[in-house]
Amino acid sequence: MLTLQSYAKINWTLEILGRRPDGYHELRTILQTVDLADTLHFSLLDHDISVHCDHPDVPTDERNLVWKAASLLRETAGIDRGVSIEIVKRIPTAAGLGGGSSNAAVTLLALLQLWQLDLPLRQLFSLASRLGADVPFFLVGGTCLGVGRGDEIYPLAGIEVSHLLLVNAGILVPTREVYASLPPELTKPEATVKMPLSLELAHEAVSARLNSVRTGAQEGSGHDEGAVPWRAGLLRNDLEIPVLPRYPELAQVRRQLVELGATDSLMSGSGSTVFAIFDNDQTRQEAAATLRGSGWWAEPVRTVGRSEYRSRFSALHRDADHHR
């Protein structure tokens, strides 16, 4: 049996640059892994792909991204191998935290080893992109710039925050509905005009140390060497424009987080999780206790840098690098 952690993500920024000719939206987003994680257990089978999960809302048939990842990899490799995958969920589902995408990426990495496949890394990223826009990011981890549909991933110097709080009020926000409700100024086909600014924004995000808040990061916390502290005022998510008016509870979560001492807060992805940044752990823990008292899910987390992320999959990444 092989057991791996499958980490969640947040989006420091998410900009809609326009509508693409293929019908998708051109994105520019800065993604970040955090230390909230599902646990996946893999066991070899002769032929079948079998998925099990302890969460009642997670499908375990062909609809599950983990099942799709295993099936797609098997088809691509032209083999008839099987696997049993048990998912122990801690990441809320349909919450903008990338749980399903993370599970799919970890499944690809695990099966490269278990099925002893010689697959070029470029092809692995292509398969990940076919599974979903967020899946390629979870092959890399840390802080990354995502462009295109969000699936073209460019590693950045890390952004470190030790005192994050994730909050979910249990609201289902359909992603299709969110994108369908974007205002016209965000869906004009002018993305290629704006795209040259992508690397400039990325550089701004990871190099500017002015106006940063104290993060309380400790030596040995797992942050990357050269990682920069959080810079106040960077947060931006264009998907809040259609979501917050339709779901005022999420706007209430953001307001209450600020009232409870957060220095910054934002909806992650298409929602419905909101994350907040705190100066210290005591204020964060007090905020979490208050929000849990309101019946909301609240989980303290920290950022996970790319070196720490890769170390959790070190043997698997060595195999992937060997197959490059």
Contact predicate 175/97, CB 8 Å: no
**Residue 144 scores a pLDDT above 80:** yes
pLDDT at 187: 77
Q: 280 vs 62, 140, 169, CA distance in Å?
A: 43, 29, 23
pLDDT at 175: 84
For residue 126, give the CATH number of its domain: 3.30.230.10
Q: 93 vs 38, 56, 96, 185, 201, CA distance in Å?
A: 11, 10, 8, 30, 30
Together in a domain, 176 and 290? yes
Say which of 38, 68, 134, 264 is annotated catalytic: 134
Annotated catalytic residue 134: yes
Annotated catalytic residue 68: no
Contact predicate 212/264, CB 8 Å: no
Together in a domain, 181 and 282? yes
pLDDT: is 123 or 225 the higher one? 123
Together in a domain, 142 and 101? yes
**Residue 281 scores a pLDDT above 90:** yes
Cα dihedral 37, 238, 135, 225, rounded to 10, equals -60
Say which of 9, 68, 224, 238 is annotated catalytic: 9
For residue 262, give the CATH number of its domain: 3.30.70.890
Together in a domain, 143 and 258? no
Together in a domain, 224 and 266? yes
Count CA within 13 A, CB hemisphere, residue 320. Answer: 20
pLDDT: is 63 or 212 the higher one? 63
Together in a domain, 205 and 315? no
Give 60's contacts (C-beta < 8 A, 6+ positions apart).
51, 52, 53, 67
The pLDDT > 70 percentage for the chain reads: 83
Together in a domain, 11 and 116? yes
Together in a domain, 128 and 200? no
> How many distinct structural domains can be found in the chain?
2
**Residue 222 scores a pLDDT above 80:** no
pLDDT: is 256 or 324 the higher one? 256
Domain range for 92 is 2-157+306-322
Together in a domain, 40 and 128? yes
CA distance 156 to 145: 7
Together in a domain, 61 and 136? yes
User: What is the pLDDT confidence band of residue 232, given thresholds at 50, 70 and 90?
Assistant: low
Together in a domain, 267 and 222? yes
Contacts of residues 131-135 at CB distance under 8 Å and 24 or more positions apart, as own/partner, are 131/65, 131/68, 131/69, 131/72, 131/101, 131/104, 132/65, 132/100, 132/101, 132/104, 133/27, 133/101, 134/9, 134/31, 134/98, 134/101, 134/102, 134/269, 135/65, 135/69, 135/101, 135/104, 135/105, 135/108
CA distance 181 to 186: 10
pTM (two decimals): 0.86
CA distance 53 to 134: 21
Together in a domain, 103 and 167? no
